Amino acid sequence: MYFGGGCVKYYIASDEKNLKQVRSLIKKLTSKGFTCVNGGNLIADDETNQIADGIGEYEKKGIEEADFMLIFLTAGKGNLYELGYALSLNKKIIVYSPEKDNYHINKKSIFHNLPEVTICSGTFYKLVKLIHTLSPEGSEKNDSLPLK
């Protein structure tokens, strides 16, 4: 998949209990040239990261602006709304979990089976390698790693 020139932007959805891992992932992806459109909310200290008026519009705009969505499992109920909105905008979606157990049939959404959704489990390295195929440079080098 090729997005054209420029920086590849992504929106990340996750649960608060994954915040430490999500922050680490955002830093890793930023170092690889990717931009998290809602990273300001996730990187900020917990004391300053309170839900404010207008947060829904901010998140909605982030999904619209992103080239793809990354859902970091386990994610809260809200990620299903985010997923639905991203699907309605025809965004590519990567559902990621460090542990394969999160993909047990009783734990995943039926939407995870759609062709726009790619599932990835394992290390950050494996995820970054998959995401790199979304970038202009990665697409030109390696079209053999399709996103489903």
Tokens of 60: 């909605």
78, 140, 141 from 57: Cα distances, Å: 14, 35, 36
**What pLDDT does residue 8 have?**
86
- Answer whether 116's CB lies under 8 Å from 145's CB: no
Q: Higher confidence at residue 40 or residue 21?
A: 21
Token couple for 27 = 């830093």
User: What is the rounded CA–CA span in Å between residue 14 and residue 23?
Assistant: 11
Any residues with CB less than 8 A from the CB of 76 and at least 6 apart, and which? 14, 15, 16
What confidence score (pLDDT) does residue 80 get?
79
Question: What pLDDT does 147 receive?
Answer: 38
Looking up tokens 């979606």 gives 93
Separation CA 44–CA 140 (nearest Å): 35
pLDDT tens track for 30-84:
888 889 998 766 655 444 445 566 778 888 999 999 999 999 887 777 777 888 8
Beta strands in the chain (DSSP E): 9-13, 35-36, 68-72, 92-97, 117-121
Q: When comparing pLDDT for 22 and 48, which is higher?
A: 22
Give me the phi and psi of 145, to 5 degrees please.
Answer: -110, 75
Give the model confidence (pLDDT) of 76-115 as tens digits.
Answer: 777 778 888 999 999 999 988 887 765 554 455 666 678 8
| Statement: residue 148 has pLDDT above 50 | no
